[in-house]
Structure 1
Amino acid sequence: MKRIFTLAAFLLLLTPAVIAQTTDTTTTKRFSLHFQQTVITQYKPSFNALYSGQNSLSPISETQSSITSTLYGAARLWPGATAVFNPELSGGSGLSKTEGIAGFPNGETFRVNSVAPAIYIARLYLNQTFQWGKEKDTLADDVNQIAGLRSKRYLSLTVGKFGMADFFDDNSFSHDPRSQFMNWSLMDNGAWDYPANTRGYVMGLVSELGQPTWTLRFAFTMSVTQANSSTWDARIGKANTQTLEFEKRYVLSGQPGTVRLMTFLNNGKMGRYREALQLDPAAPVVDTTQRYGRHKYGFGINAEQYLTKDLGIFAKLSWNDGHTQTWYFTEIDRSVSLGGELKGTSWGRKDDVLALAFVGNGLSHDHRDYLAAGGYGFIIGDGRLNYSPEMIAELYYKINAYQKKLWLSPDYQFILHPAYNTDRGPVHVLGIRAHVEF
């Protein structure tokens, strides 16, 4: 595994001397400026629960709201170089303080102590792209993207602060909780414990080698000092992550499709579930077993396919070893999801979208034994566990309310066995999302 990552890093970070930087003389735009604001309100009625622990979803009825506002700024500095700066505001809370469900229903919430709106830097990075060849793609003016031409053959290097989802595990139908499915399990491959601080961003380097029908990406990023924290670990040689993804684009029966294969390796001062059980079988605490030299590794498969110009489907499968504690994202060690979306052309609403997805999440044996003995993670833990996979279905309808700038999305999620516990639930979550972008 380490040799694979080392080879990938060498191939992607080595800039060939023969690559000639091309300048797009047909474009005079130097800047890109966009804005988004997303407000999500979710309600769950009461549900049956035989018991609850410190990280359980509250069994009483509850309503919570979240808000995020982001200003996306990008500027050309010199040929091939772009600087990106995104200040962001977020506030509010998820249901039950964003605890009690591994596949949490609101992807716009963070596990922070305060619900008051806070402003922070989401992204601040520099991208340098080297290009060669005559085939060109036309890039539209978009979020963190300046309109212009780019060769279909390129090597780009990005360094700074960003979100891993900006570059990895993309999907046309299931990736962005601001405009697509809201559930955490559908934002990315659920078992990918992707590197991030509490608010979902990371410091590091991404390299990308692009070709007309495929792309290879590699990232080396920092780690935080504790699970779900915002303090970066200065011991980069011992606390770091590597992520490698190969993307293949194709056309099937005249319709585009994409398959992405990803693998990752996280290194740091993490604890191990089995060791925590051995130290204290009656009340294990995984944090007491933390030390450097621990690893978490896994893979993800992500596929999408248009069947017609209005109908598309997707499927994802992911797995991690599940021995070391969850450090960044959420407590999922195995996940499978599938779904699709249908544009409203056939009922006279061509910009509306109807979408449905199903998810199954699971835990490793070490992880489930730890929770069953009364252990807690940073997002789930009922004090004990009658294990069964967490099953989720999500249905939403996205309405173009005003000139593709204001979107309203009623949403329903059904969650069976929340936090993998057959003694609790099922849970019904009703939501409404308002999203503004321009």
Structure 2
Amino acid sequence: MLPFSYRKGVLLAVLGTSVLTVQAQTVPRRSATPAPVAPAPPPALQHPAPDSSRQPNWSLHFQQTLVTQWHPSFRAPYAADYSLAQREKAKTSLTSTFFLGRRLWRGGSFFFNPELAGGSGLSQARGIAGFPNGETFRIGDPAPHLYVARAFLRQVWALGTETQVVEDAPNQLAGSGPARFLALNVGKLSLTDFFDQNSYSHDPRSQFLNWGLMSNGGWDYPANTRGYTVAAVLEYVTPLGAVRASSALVPTYANGPTIDFHYGKAHSETLELTRTYHLGRQAGTVRALGFRTVAGMGDYRTATLRPDLDLTATRQPGRTKTGFGLNLEQTLTPEVGLFARLSYNDGRRETWAFTEIDRSASLGAVSTGTRWHRPNDRLGLAVVANGLSQPHRSFLAAGGHGFMIGDGQLNYAPEMAAEAYYSVNLPRQHATLSPDYQLILNPAYNHDRGPVQVLGGRLHVAF
């Protein structure tokens, strides 16, 4: 087992010193604080207030997350380079992040997140479209690396005199903020900090680990391999809802580490409408998202006709991908909440950033441990079904592969997964310990392979 301690975690984040030997790089995409069971505005919906001498001008937080996963052998009559290995050892990932915030002037603030990531995903994060570890992404270098995750400027303009209390949190300054406001965020950030939020299923550091559950799977959101991009996000927020719009840069090639700064030829726009409501006394939120990406994507139909099935050889500038996502969260009781997502993209062109999912539907529930006298514990149960467009599945059936999946042939069936986790709160250690189980049917949409059982555990420290 890898050595881990709170002190070592801090040293890792500050000095970039490795405390483990690992096989592949892992990266985070989410915030560090666990979301409550009752729907509440997550960090991206709560904002710093205008400057005041009574309000703190600094915010400092830290998180470290360790995830270990293993799967027993499964049925696999054939395999290729992008298949999940039939047998392999347990793999472990580690991320450490500092969240630094500084109030600059009235309504203005700056946030900076140095981050260290190292570790490995099962089969180098290949072979399953809805991959089972949301803290793992496809970085080839096995050594831990220190890098800048976020560095962005935020400006808030109050619209009215009504205020709200803003708690101290990662990338959020405490104080009294406007309840109705306009905000502009510019710099390096993750779009998932602002879009597709969900109180029950959004953060793999404290909630569900599966990629198909932490976000709308059909939203091929703009990001480099680590999950970050350069973007401008405009927000209009009221007590009853919000409108968010962004324009962001995309990677130079599919799932690439480098951002393409030729904005006129490659960019992505996202629009989301958020509405809060009540059913009886129970709160709920619904979000509707649409996106359009322009990039030099390959074409699945054209690649299928090539003798070499080389998708990269069909790339042409100016191609587009469009899609939408629906996101619902609903409190059932003070202890239990429900969530659901539905997403789609046209699937004609190459998956460019997130993962090879063209359609997705998920449903789940989360409960506190109040009934068994553990009110700060969490129990989560969820299912997700992912699908491909006809051009995408035909390309894989012919023997092609993307950056995530490709078994050399394909007996198509929707990829389905069920996940259960139990998060034990360890208050004295500022930590949670979460055993996790996932059952994955038809990995990489292939009915000839699987099912796969993934057993894992997660240790998450935050302060």
TM-score, normalized by length of structure 2? 0.88
In the alignment, structure 1 segments of 5+ residues that lack a partner are 1-20
Of all paired residues, the percent bearing the same amino acid is 53
Opposite residue 131 of structure 1, the aligned amino acid is A
Q: How many residues matched? A: 416
> What secondary structure is seen at the aligned counterpart in 2 of 1:169?
coil
User: 2:49 & 2:436 partners in 1: Cα distance?
Assistant: 46
1:55 has 2:72 as partner: no
Q: Give the Å deviation of 1:155.
A: 0.5
The one of 388, 405, 416 equivalent to 1:380 is 405
> Counterpart of 1:128 in structure 2: which amino acid?
Q
Report deviation, 1:187. Answer: 1.0
Structure 2 unmatched runs, 5+: 1-47
Q: 1:156 aligns with which of 183, 200, 203?
A: 183
Aligned to 2:28: none
- Tell me, yes or no, if the aligned pair for 2:321 and 2:347 is still in contact at 8 Å: yes
Q: CA deviation at 1:26?
A: 7.0
1:74 is aligned to 101
| Structure 1 residue 233, shift from structure 2 partner | 1.5
**Contact 2:191/2:221 (<8 A) preserved:** yes
2:427 is aligned with what amino acid?
Y
Out of 348, 367, 376, the position equivalent to 1:351 is 376
State the Cα deviation string for residues 338-381 of structure 1 (Å, max 9, x = none): 00101000100000011100000000000000000000100100
Residue 404 of structure 1, CA deviation: 7.2
- The reply to whether residue 192 of structure 1 matches residue 219 of structure 2 is yes
Is 1:241 the counterpart of 2:268? The answer is: yes
2:122 aligned residue: 95
Q: Is the 8 A contact 1:296 1:324 kept in 2?
A: yes
1:436 alignment partner AA? V
Contact 1:45 1:62 (8 Å CA) reproduced: no
**Hey, what's the Cα distance between the residues in 2 that align with 1:23 and 1:68?**
33
CA contact (8 A) 1:331 1:379 kept: yes
| Paired position in structure 1 for 2:138 | 111
Q: Does 1:173 align with 2:200?
A: yes
291, 294, 303: which one pairs with 1:267? Answer: 294
Write the distance in 2 (CA, Å) between the matches of 1:22 and 1:320: 37
Quote the residue 1:125 is aligned against.
152
**Deviation of the 1:328 alpha carbon:** 0.3
- Aligned pair partner of 1:324 in 349, 356, 364: 349
1:140-171 CA-to-partner distances (Å, cap 9, x unmatched) read 00011010111121110010000111100000
Contact 1:306 1:312 in 2 (8 A): yes
Residues 365-404 of structure 1: pairs in structure 2 closer than 5 A:
365-403=390-428
Pairing 1:19-58 to 2, within 5 Å after superposition: 23-25=50-52, 27-58=54-85
- Structure 2 distance, partners of 1:24, 1:250, is 31
SS in 1 for 2:160: strand
Distance 2:49 2:319 in 1: 44
- Displacement of 1:401 after TM fit? 1.9
* 2-structure distance, mates of 1:242, 1:23: 29
Amino acid at match of 1:123: R
Deviations 1:298-348 (A, max 9, x none): 000000000111100000000000000001000000000000101000100
In 1, are the aligned partners of 2:182 and 2:236 still within 8 Å (CA)? Answer: yes
Report the Cα distance in structure 1 between the residues aligned to 2:306 and 2:186, rounded to whole angstroms: 41
C-alpha displacement at 1:285, in angstroms? 1.5
The residue that corresponds to 1:419 in the other structure is: 444
SS in 2 for 1:104: coil
CA distance in 2, matches of 1:24, 1:232: 34
Match of 1:11 in 2: none
TM-score, normalised via structure 1 length: 0.93
One-letter amino acid matched to 1:151: P
Q: CA deviation at 1:27?
A: 3.4
Q: Of 286, 298, 308, which aligns to 2:311?
A: 286
**Does the 8 A contact of 2:185 with 2:232 survive in 1?**
yes
Looking at structure 2, the residues matched to 27 and 373 of structure 1 have their Cα atoms a distance apart, in angstroms, of 65
Which residue of 117, 132, 141 corresponds with 2:168? 141
1:257 aligns with 2:289: no
In structure 1, how many angstroms separate the alpha carbons of the residues matched to 2:88 and 2:108?
Answer: 51
